A and B are shown apart, each in its own frame.
Chain A
Amino acid sequence: EIVMTQSPATLAVSPGERVTLSCRASQSVSINVAWYQQKVGQAPRLLIYGASTRATGIPARFSGSGSETVFTLAISSLQSEDFAVYYCQQYNNWPRTFGQGTKVEIK
């Protein structure tokens, strides 16, 4: 099973700041990585797939990059609605696996 490791576990950020979240795969997953946002009490929402393609309706301030084993999700200027938990997921191999999540909270 491919292990996805996210860092940091928690990030305290002020609105308007740029945020970078990291995700590492235990072996190469090519660009088959997705990122999701989950707010309290809500289902996850797809942000990025194919490592860097924004999903429908996702604002341009969200961007993804990386390949093989190292991936990054960046939020260029954090808005109040962006405070949430973010998960990466690989879909290169079965079983599909998620990272443990990064919580972005208000500083």
Chain B
Amino acid sequence: EVLLVESGGGLVQAGGSLRLSCGASGFSFSTYGMTWVRQAPGKGLEWVSGISGSGGSTYYADSVTGRFSISRDNSKNTLYLEMNSLRAEDTAVYYCAKVGSYSGYFDYWGQGILVTVSS
């Protein structure tokens, strides 16, 4: 069974930093791309960042480029999102998700973790 568990969320002041983690199990972690998707309170889904299975390729939404950094440790089956210079508009539930077979859809999702940025 595929399981994704996010951690590291919480309350942070504007301008601060936070690192999210996503522990993965139930599949060959290094084989698949991974992604972060967020959802502001009462709003729709927004893709944030993606990373290839090897970690050699990374992608970002314009809204977070230069502030967020995605990475992975395949020896620990863990995905990360380093978030710096946080803004009030970054307040959201952050989901990690597994990318489907060599494609770009997201077939398994974590339960999400709330990040609140106070201004």
Contacts and interface: CB of A to CB of B under 8 A. Distances in A.
A42 to B, nearest CB: 8
Contacts of A97: 47
A97 B110 CA distance: 19
Interface string A54-79: 01100000000000000000000000
Interface string A6-37: 00000000000000000000000000101010
A98 B103 contact: no
Interface string B60-89: 111000000000000000000000000000
Interface residues of A, number: 26
Interface string A31-59: 01010101000011110011000011000
Contacts of B112: 43
Interface of A: 1, 32, 34, 36, 38, 43-46, 49-50, 55-56, 85, 87, 89, 91-92, 94-101
Interface of B: 35, 37, 44-47, 50, 59-62, 95, 100, 103-112
